[in-house]
Amino acid sequence: MRQTDAERARDTARSLVDVLTAYEEELMVLERETPGVAPLRRAVGMAIAEACYLVSDRIAQPEPGWAPPPRGWAD
């Protein structure tokens, strides 16, 4: 059975989170001793957050009432 593009993207993002989480944990420990690695730790954290977003929110179809109103609607 062939995976759809959405399933493949989810699987890839999950794998990325698994790999990067271990690096982020090590970077947090290293950051206490060497504050200069903070930008790298933040970059890894942002990559993890983006992958989580792809898995949980972006690919899933939102409920119609959950979407924000169109821009300028509240003006």
pLDDT tier at 69 (50, 70, 90 boundaries)? low
Entry pTM: 0.62
**Per-residue confidence (pLDDT) for residue 73, from 0 to 100:** 54
What amino acid occupies position 59? I
The mean pLDDT value of the chain amounts to 78
Structure tokens at 5: 């593009």
Flag whether pLDDT at 53 surpasses 70: yes
CA distance 29 to 42: 13
Sign, CA dihedral 5-8-54-69, equals positive
Residue linked to tokens 């989480």: 21
Average pLDDT on 1-30 reads: 83
Cα–Cα distance between 31 and 43 in angstroms, integer?
Answer: 13
Position 1 pLDDT exceeds 80: no
pLDDT digit string, tens, across residues 34-47: 999 999 999 999 98
